[in-house]
Structure 1
Amino acid sequence: MEVNYGVISQYSNFLKACGVKGILLNDQIGEGMSLTLQERKALTEEWSQCCEKNGQFLIVQIGGIPLKEVIELANHCETNKVGAVILLPDLYNRPRNHLDLVKYIKLVAEGTKEIPILYHHHPKYTNLDLDMTNFLLDITGEVDSFVGLIHSTNDLQSALSSFHVNEKQFTVFMGTDEVILGAAASGFSCIMANTLNIFAKLVETICFSTTKGEILTAQKTQAVLAKALYRIYSYGDTVPALKAAMCIISKLPLGTTREPLEAIWEGNVEKMKNELHEMGLV
């Protein structure tokens, strides 16, 4: 499966119409680990232009590859005026503890100029479950360009602990769909969940209703979101299933996943479409 650069502008416009103000590029859902270095650069250049046109803040995930290439991508992002970069850890030489992670981020920061750096805490994907509260405490004052993290776990208590370390210095994004309601009720204002790719209005309703004290509406909307995700993910692994749903909802030719990820069978895509239609989401 080749990258379809021609559809990027349309998809950026679709997300803007849905109210999405920020784009996370080349992370897990974007199949960043399946892309070559040149493809990641080309996507960054295309999205940078689209985001500038649509007033969307662009964050690019640059990790998961050799350190020299991570730094190369960081400098490329600076050249293309990307708003910030996100790091996944080295997926082979994983940090042994949170202090190793601090050292790793420090190496990346020393190889760049001033671009803001965040870390993506995603244990289910990286098989690396470090204490993010201690990590934030120990990176404080060590890396001036480090500004926060995406917390992609269902552990709301752990996320909250990270959130409260230093709210003025660090931005902590909630990155898990299942706990958006709890996160919003707990004070999170930054959400970076998978469903923003397709159900941004549902996420917006959960957050808005919660801040307005309309808890019943927020609960019902979270239940709809959970039901939709259950049906989508019943057809396959997270990335292929969500990409199929993205094609259904956006009505854009976004294509399928790249091997070795197994794309959703066409017949099941049609079944998924019918189920989402029955829910009133298509």
Structure 2
Amino acid sequence: MGEGTSLTPEERKSLTEYWADICKEKNQFLMVQIGGAPLKSVVDMVGAIVLMPDLYNRPKNHLDLIRYIKIISDYTESIPILYHHFPKHTQINIDITSFLLDITGEIESFVGVIYTTNDLQESLSALTLNPEKYVVFMGTDEVMLGAVASGFTCIMGNSINILPKLAESIYGEIKSAQASQNLLKKALDNIYCNGDAVAMLKAAISIITNLPVETVREPLQTAWEGTLTKMKNKLHEIGII
């Protein structure tokens, strides 16, 4: 959900090194999103990685995507690779089940998928296809309750950056989980309705956590003062702050 594609490779490396130090200190596991950039830059930034393909020279089908991941894996050796399936953003619409079937045995370091769509049926097919070999993360906040109820144990949602306890409570008793899911969706609706998702999430972080991160880099547009006030009032109204 960050602005990796707006940063230079040097900036992305510097940011990764900063977080690597923090994660080491706090005993946290770090996965780095290296995708969305030209292939040469992707190869140069390898680490414990999550990737999207080149968003200009997009894969034409799932076999083309497997070929792209294979190129990356040749440089990453045994480092685990996850593919971030986010068709709304990447415009890459592939059948994930076919993708997982055909990548099996081709790339040993490939370990799974972050699935960011509202399609629970397809994501469940991916989840149950080969659970011993592949992990499937649910990456959509708005269907977190359905995902948990369906058997997902790995969630990677944008809202966890700012509302981790609310997201965590969805794992609890179903009744309270339903209330948490409804509140989480209401919070996200009130955040994202104001403009670009990245800029609005950063505005929400600045409101909820008091961290000064509301400014974004062009061509994204930083939230106006009036938008910040409107968002803050709405989040207060529904009980988030």
What's the TM-score, normalizing by structure 1?
0.83
Identity %: 58
Q: Residues of 2 paired with 1:253 and 1:232: CA distance?
A: 17
**Higher relative contact order (CA closer than 8 Å, sequence separation 6+):** 1
- Structure 2 partner of 1:58: 30
1:250-265 correspondence runs (5 A): 250-265=209-224
- Structure 2 partner of 1:127: 91
Q: Residues of 1 paired with 2:125 and 2:216: CA distance?
A: 35
Q: 1:133: how far off?
A: 0.7
Q: Residues of 1 paired with 2:192 and 2:75: CA distance?
A: 39
Q: Residues of 2 paired with 1:88 and 1:256: CA distance?
A: 25
Q: Residues of 1 paired with 2:221 and 2:188: CA distance?
A: 18
- Structure 1 partner of 2:21: 49
- Structure 2 partner of 1:193: 157
Q: Residues of 1 paired with 2:193 and 2:85: CA distance?
A: 25
1:234-245 correspondence runs (5 A): 234-245=193-204
- Structure 1 partner of 2:127: 163
What's the TM-score, normalizing by structure 2?
0.97
- Structure 2 partner of 1:72: 44
Q: Residues of 2 paired with 1:216 and 1:111: CA distance?
A: 47
CA offsets 1:1-52 (integer angstroms, 9 cap, x no match): xxxxxxxxxxxxxxxxxxxxxxxxxxxx111110100000000000000011
Instruction: Give unpaired runs (5+ residues) of structure 2.
Output: none
Q: Residues of 2 paired with 1:103 and 1:165: CA distance?
A: 21
Q: Residues of 2 paired with 1:188 and 1:261: CA distance?
A: 33
Q: Residues of 1 paired with 2:98 and 2:34: CA distance?
A: 23
Pick the aligned partner of 1:85 from 49, 58, 62: 49
2:3 is the alignment partner of 1:31: yes
Deviates more, 1:148-157 or 1:225-234: 225-234
Q: Residues of 1 paired with 2:158 and 2:138: CA distance?
A: 11
* CA-atom RMSD in angstroms: 1.0
Contact 2:199 2:220 in 1 (8 A): yes
CA offsets 1:142-176 (integer angstroms, 9 cap, x no match): 10100011000000001111111111111100000
- The 3-state SS of whatever aligns with 1:260 is coil
Q: Residues of 1 paired with 2:137 and 2:215: CA distance?
A: 28
- Structure 2 partner of 1:23: none
Instruction: Give unpaired runs (5+ residues) of structure 1.
Output: 1-28, 78-83
Q: 1:280: how far off?
A: 2.1
Give the total of aligned pairs: 241
